């Protein structure tokens, strides 16, 4: 178990796949962490080194609600936290796409949108009595994405991405999608990147720009272990509060 902040959310919109995937390997829950993938321990704490990056914890989830030809793709987030000045912490995140071993990531065509700012909503947790006010004990707070992100926001973004895909005939779909997201205010997502900040800071990455990661003998945070990983994007945010991801 690692204490981290829900500092970003990734929305995967896949545009085309012509390759059949192997049967999905079930996870014990929709969102799992180091316990599921058997991260090595260092002084009783989880550690997962992927390539040259060492994480204090990881999150793994299958990409849901996709056509049968897309089953088996996973989204993995690795997290590391370093101390900053004035009691702040640098929250370093890396996102990976997990793919079945028989699939070449170059056969994929699509875009990944990563929203990097923490949403306005917080996970529920026990209330701790403070000197001036009562606050949520964030280190004991926990939950899942639907507790934080409104479904109407997800539906709106998905529909807009679908519209861009259908209206774009050339290879510039990801650039077009990024322009569309930046120039429009989405009322349904007004607090996604913080209170009243709309989508906040986000990046759009094309599948064509993904870099495959060499399999690590230390920790391979995906199931089945034969799956491959490709780095999608990285982000560093300076934060104060922390939450739990298990």
Nearest 5°: phi and psi at 37? -105, 5
Q: What is the pLDDT of residue 29?
A: 81
C-beta separation of 93 from 117 below 8 A: no
Residues in contact with 60: Cβ distance below 8 Å, sequence separation at least 6, in sequence order: 27, 31, 32, 33, 36, 37, 74, 75, 76, 98, 221, 222, 223
Q: Is the pLDDT of residue 243 over 50?
A: no
Task: State the residue for tokens 């926001």.
Answer: 153
Q: Which of 3-12, 24-33, 68-77 has the lowest mean pLDDT?
A: 3-12
Q: Which of 46-50, 84-88, 92-96, 215-219 has the lowest mean pLDDT?
A: 84-88
Q: Is the pLDDT of residue 15 over 50?
A: no
């Amino acid at each position: 178990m690692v204490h981290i902040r829900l500092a970003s959310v990734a929305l995967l919109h896949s545009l085309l796949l012509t390759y059949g995937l192997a049967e999905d390997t079930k996870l014990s829950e929709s969102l799992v962490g180091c316990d599921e993938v058997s991260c090595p321990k260092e002084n009783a704490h989880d550690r997962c080194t992927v390539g040259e990056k060492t994480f204090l914890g990881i999150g793994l989830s299958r990409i849901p609600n996709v056509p049968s030809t897309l089953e088996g793709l996973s989204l993995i987030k690795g997290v590391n936290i370093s101390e900053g000045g004035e009691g702040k912490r640098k929250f370093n995140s890396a996102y990976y796409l997990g793919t079945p071993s028989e699939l070449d990531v170059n056969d994929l065509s699509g875009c990944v949108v990563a929203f990097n700012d923490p949403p306005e909503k917080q996970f529920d947790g026990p209330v701790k009595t403070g000197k001036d006010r009562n606050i949520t004990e964030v280190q004991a707070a926990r939950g899942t994405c639907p507790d934080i992100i409104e479904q109407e926001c997800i539906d709106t973004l998905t529909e807009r991405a679908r519209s861009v895909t259908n209206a774009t005939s050339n290879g510039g779909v990801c650039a077009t999608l990024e322009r569309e997201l930046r120039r429009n205010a989405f009322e349904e997502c007004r607090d996604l990147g913080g209170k009243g900040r709309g989508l906040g800071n986000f990046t759009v990455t094309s599948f064509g720009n993904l870099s495959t990661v060499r399999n690590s003998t230390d920790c391979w945070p995906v199931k089945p272990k034969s799956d491959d990983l490709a780095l999608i994007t990285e982000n560093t945010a300076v934060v104060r509060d922390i939450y739990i991801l298990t």
